[in-house]
A and B are shown apart, each in its own frame.
Chain A
C-alpha cells in the first residue's frame, strides 16, 4: 500500500487542518487579549479607588492621619498591599515584606513580586500598585493589590487555548490519516482491478459499495465505460469475423466464375456474360462495404454528422412517395399515420436511410399475407417521438428478435432473397445515434411492428 502522506486527500486534510488551526489561533488570541485587558482594568480600578481614598485621608489628617490609616488597614487580612516609607526611604509600616523585581512602568504603575509565609508555606506573590508621595515628600506609600488570581486566570486561558489548538492539529492530522487510509484502500482496490483488466481480464469490474460518494460514482461510471467498450469490442470482433466470412463467399464466386470462364475456351458472348456477372457481384460487395462503413461511422461517432430540424411528416411522405410504386407493384397497400408538425433535431439522411431499410424489409419479408399492407407512422408525446413501420406478414419469432439486430444476420426464411444482413443493424445504429431505442413488437393478429422511440430532449 502506498504511503498515505503522499495522498492528495491527506495533503488536502493537512492543509485544511493547518488553516483551521491558524484561524482558530487568531480567534483565541483575540479573546485572550481582550479578556486579559478587561481583567487588568478591573483590578486596576480597585487600586485607583484606593489611591483616591488615601488622598482623601491625607487631606483630612495629613501625615499623621495617613500613618494611622495604614496601621488600621494592615491590622486585618486583606488582598490590598501597603508599604509606607519615610523621606529617607526607610520602611515605616506595611503588610508585606520587601518586594523584589520592582519595576515602575511609564504610566506610573508599579509591578513587583514578594515572598510571604502564609500558613507555614512560603509562596511567591505578584503585586501591582502605585506610589503615593505626600506633597512635602516626607512620606511615600506603595499601595497595591495581590494579582495572583488574575495572572493565574490569564495563564490558564493561555494554556487551554494552546492545548486546544494542539488538539485540533492532532485530531485533524490523525483523523486525516485514518480517513485517507480508508480512501487509499478503496483507491488501491480500484487500481488492482484496473491492472487485472489491463492484464486481459476484460470481464472484471471495479468494486462498488452502496454509497453514492464520488468514488462510487467514479467506479460505476468506469464500469459503464468498460461495459460499453466491451460491447464495442465484441461487435468489432463480430464484424471482422463476419466480414471475413460474408465477403469471402462472394469474392470466391467472382474468382471461380472468372477462372472457369478462362479455362473453358469461351467465345466473346461468354466472356461478356462472365464479366457482367463479376461486375454485378462487385457492385453488391461495394454496397455491403458502404453499409459497413456507414454503420461503423455512425457507431464510432468519430466523424461529424450534421443535425438539423427535421419535419417527420415530410420525411415519411417523401419515403412513401419513393416506395409507393414498388409496393403497388407487389400489391402491398402502403399507408401512413403521421401527426402533423412533428419536428426534431437529427440527421435527415441517416434517418431516411433507416426508415427506408425498414420499409424495404417490410416489402421484401412482410408481404406474405393475402392482403399485405404496410403502415408508416409517427406521433409525438410529452416525452418521446415514436416512429413505426408495421406489416401483416409473418413477423419474427421472439427467439430471433434479438438476433436480427446484429450484423450479417439473415434468418433462414430470408436466405433466398438478396440482401446483406446489414439493414436492421444500420437502423439500430441510426436510432442509437439519435439516442433512441428500437423495439420489435408483434402485430395483431400477425405481423411485425418496428417501433423507434426517440426521447424529446
Chain B
C-alpha cells in the first residue's frame, strides 16, 4: 500500500514509518496539516493516516477539506482522544476509522488492511465464499465441503465478519466493535472463547485444512490457499 502519514511528532512518525516499511508498505510523511493536505490532494494514496492534533491545520479540518475535494481515499485517524464520542466526531468529519493512542502496531496494521480492502469493489452478492466455506446471507445457511453447519445467530454474525475479510488479520477490538458494537476492553478473553467455539464448528469436524487461525499478538484470520 502507498500510505501518507500526517504526524507532527518525529519520534512517533519514525517508529510508524519503520514498522509500516517492515510490513511492506510505501510511506510518505507530512509533518503538519497544511503540508499533509497539499500532499493528500496532490498525489494518489491508498490510505491516509492522520493525527488529530496537528500544527497549522488540525486533523479534523484537514479531513473535511480532503472530503470536500471529492477525494475518497480511506482515512484512519490516530488520536490521544480515545473516547467514544471523540471517535464519533472523527467519523462524522469523514474519516473511515479511528484508533486511539496508545495502540498496538498489529491493531494498526489490521485496520489499515481492512480499510484498503474496503476500497476494493464489493460484490453485493448474498453468498460469501472463502475456500470451501459458504455462507448464504438470505437463507442464513452455512456449509463447508457441502455439509451444513448449524450456527447460533451470533456465531453466524462473527463468521460473516471474518468471511468478509478473508486472509486478513482481524483484531479482538475490531471483532468487539464490529460484531457486538462495544467500545470497551473486556478484562477477560471473551472473544477467544467465541472464536474457539466457532472453530470447533467450522474447522474441527472437517478433514480439510484449518481455516480459522490465531495470529499471535494480533488477533485472528480466516485463511485459505488460493
Chain B residues near A356 (CB-CB < 8 A): 182, 184, 186
User: Are B217 and A276 closer than 8 Å at their CB atoms?
Assistant: yes
A195 at the interface (CB under 8 A from B): no
For B186-207 the 0/1 string (1 means CB < 8 A from A) is 1111100110010000000000
Given the contacts A283-B104, A290-B82, A326-B193, A349 and B187 also touching, CB distance less than 8 Å: no
Given the contacts A305-B85, A306-B85, A323 and B190 also touching, CB distance less than 8 Å: yes
How far is the CB of B89 from the nearest CB of chain A, in Å? 10
For A322-346 the 0/1 string (1 means CB < 8 A from B) is 1101100100000000000000000
Given the contacts A287-B187, A352-B184, A364-B188, A304 and B194 also touching, CB distance less than 8 Å: no
A297 at the interface (CB under 8 A from B): yes
How far is the CB of B121 from the nearest CB of chain A, in Å? 33
User: Are A322 and B180 closer than 8 Å at their CB atoms?
Assistant: yes
In angstroms, Cα B85 to Cα A297, docked, is: 12
Given the contacts A294-B83, A349-B84, A349-B182, A325 and B190 also touching, CB distance less than 8 Å: yes
Chain B residues near A352 (CB-CB < 8 A): 182, 184
How far is the CB of B105 from the nearest CB of chain A, in Å? 10
Chain A residues near B190 (CB-CB < 8 A): 322-323, 325-326
Contacting B180 at CB < 8 Å: which of A290, A318, A423?
A318
A419 at the interface (CB under 8 A from B): yes
A353 at the interface (CB under 8 A from B): yes
Q: In residues 287-327 of chain A, which contact B (Cβ within 8 Å)? A: 287, 290, 293-294, 297, 303-306, 318, 321-323, 325-326
Chain A residues near B217 (CB-CB < 8 A): 276, 279
Chain A residues near B193 (CB-CB < 8 A): 325-326, 329
How far is the CB of B45 from the nearest CB of chain A, in Å? 29
Q: Which residue of A lies closest to B176 (CB)?
A: A322
B185 at the interface (CB under 8 A from A): yes
User: Are A349 and B184 closer than 8 Å at their CB atoms?
Assistant: yes
In angstroms, Cα B77 to Cα A375, docked, is: 40
B140 at the interface (CB under 8 A from A): no
Chain A residues near B102 (CB-CB < 8 A): 282, 286
The total of Cβ contacts below 8 Å across the A-B interface reads: 58
Number of B residues with CB within 8 Å of any CB on chain A: 21
How far is the CB of B199 from the nearest CB of chain A, in Å? 12
Q: In residues 249-292 of chain A, which contact B (Cβ within 8 Å)? A: 276, 279, 282-283, 286-287, 290
User: Are A349 and B188 closer than 8 Å at their CB atoms?
Assistant: no
B183 at the interface (CB under 8 A from A): yes
User: Are A325 and B187 closer than 8 Å at their CB atoms?
Assistant: no
In angstroms, Cα B189 to Cα A363, docked, is: 12
B154 at the interface (CB under 8 A from A): yes
Chain A residues near B84 (CB-CB < 8 A): 349
Given the contacts A349-B182, A352-B182, A304 and B187 also touching, CB distance less than 8 Å: no
Contacting B188 at CB < 8 Å: which of A276, A283, A304, A363?
A363
How far is the CB of A426 from the nearest CB of chain B, in Å? 9
In angstroms, Cα B190 to Cα A364, docked, is: 12
Chain B residues near A304 (CB-CB < 8 A): 85
In angstroms, Cα B182 to Cα A173, docked, is: 68
For B169-182 the 0/1 string (1 means CB < 8 A from A) is 00000000000101
A420 at the interface (CB under 8 A from B): yes
How far is the CB of B13 from the nearest CB of chain A, in Å? 20
A360 at the interface (CB under 8 A from B): yes
Q: Which residue of B lies closest to A418 (CB)?
A: B187
User: Are B183 and A349 closer than 8 Å at their CB atoms?
Assistant: yes
In angstroms, Cα B180 to Cα A283, docked, is: 22
User: Are B197 and A325 closer than 8 Å at their CB atoms?
Assistant: yes
How far is the CB of B46 from the nearest CB of chain A, in Å? 28
User: Are A326 and B189 closer than 8 Å at their CB atoms?
Assistant: yes
In angstroms, Cα B104 to Cα A279, docked, is: 9
How far is the CB of A418 from the nearest CB of chain B, in Å? 8
A–B complex contacts, Cβ < 8 Å, 23 sampled: A283-B104, A286-B102, A290-B82, A293-B82, A294-B83, A294-B184, A303-B83, A304-B85, A306-B85, A321-B180, A322-B190, A322-B194, A323-B190, A326-B188, A326-B189, A326-B193, A329-B193, A356-B182, A356-B184, A360-B186, A363-B188, A418-B187, A423-B187
In the A-B complex, the 8 residue pairs with the smallest Cβ-Cβ separation, listed nearest first, are A325-B193, A353-B184, A326-B193, A360-B188, A321-B154, A325-B197, A326-B190, A349-B183
**A287-B187, A321-B180, A329-B193 known; 17 other A-B pairs, CB under 8 Å?**
A283-B104, A287-B185, A293-B82, A294-B83, A303-B83, A304-B85, A306-B85, A322-B186, A322-B190, A322-B194, A325-B197, A326-B189, A353-B184, A356-B182, A360-B187, A363-B188, A419-B187
